[in-house]
Amino acid sequence: MKDMKEWYNQAYFDAFDKGAHYRPRVFNIVNAVKKYNPKTILDVGCGAGVVTKKLRDEGFDAIGIDFSPDAGKEIPGYFKVADARDIPYPDNSFDMVLCTGVLEHIEEKDIDQVYSEMKRVGGKIMATIGFRKSNYYWMKDGKKSPEYHITIRPIEWWDKKVPEIEIINNKYYEKSIYNGNKWVPRAPRS
């Protein structure tokens, strides 16, 4: 995986996970999760932990992991620094694995390993995936960040690559101001 940890810092999480634009996204993700009523949820790449916190507020036993030590600030006690390629939980530990706005940030060569790990630790897997380059970059010490969305593929590619993941799409994502993406409307998988 490219060494991106230095760019996923507290300023990044504050800007992307706490803005007013993020509330509808969290609401829609939580509603998508509710239809399956899982007892235990692992939020892979949880960022600040905003989604995980909302799930906990709704009564779910949710915890988050992220490779950035600056992540998880919203969920103290329910967060672990961990790499999605090597999830530090036993097989079948969770009813659901959630991965929102993360897969497009992972190098294509690592997608199979991350997918395998999510399947290993959980039952149902749900994700949101960006299909275009991000419109944002970050400045640190006078340097411009690298592109955050590094695996940009059409929905058909993702359907073949990660067939057991339910990709969540709705009107909010089609009009996303979160990262400038236009999400592709799609029929649910059978």
Instruction: Give yes or no for residue 179 having a pLDDT over 70.
Output: no
What domains appear along the chain, each with residue ranges and CATH number? 5-174 (3.40.50.150)
Concatenating the DSSP letter of every residue in 60-86 gives: -EEEEEES-TT--TTSTTSEEE--TTS
pLDDT class for 133, splitting at 50, 70, 90?
A: low
Instruction: Give yes or no for residue 44 having a pLDDT over 80.
Output: yes
| Tokens matching residue 74 | 């919203």
73-128 pLDDT, tens digit per residue, is 999 999 999 999 999 999 999 999 999 888 988 889 999 999 999 999 999 999 98
Residue 180: the pLDDT is 35
| Tokens matching residue 189 | 């998988």
What predicted TM-score, i.e. pTM, was given to this entire model? 0.80
54-72 pLDDT, tens digit per residue, is 999 999 999 999 998 888 9
How far is the C-alpha of 54 from the C-alpha of 49, rounded, in Å?
9
Residue 101: the pLDDT is 84
- The mean of the pLDDT values for the chain is 79
Residue 11: the pLDDT is 62
How far is the C-alpha of 190 from the C-alpha of 186, rounded, in Å?
12
Question: Mean per-residue pLDDT for 41-53?
Answer: 93
Instruction: Give yes or no for residue 137 having a pLDDT over 90.
Output: no
Residue 130: the pLDDT is 75
The CA-based dihedral angle spanning residues 12, 15, 18, 22, taken in that order and rounded to the nearest 10 degrees? -110
Residue 110: the pLDDT is 95
Query: Between 50-57 and 22-34, two packed helices, what is the crossing angle to 10 degrees?
Result: 50
How far is the C-alpha of 141 from the C-alpha of 20, rounded, in Å?
27
Instruction: Give yes or no for residue 182 having a pLDDT over 80.
Output: no
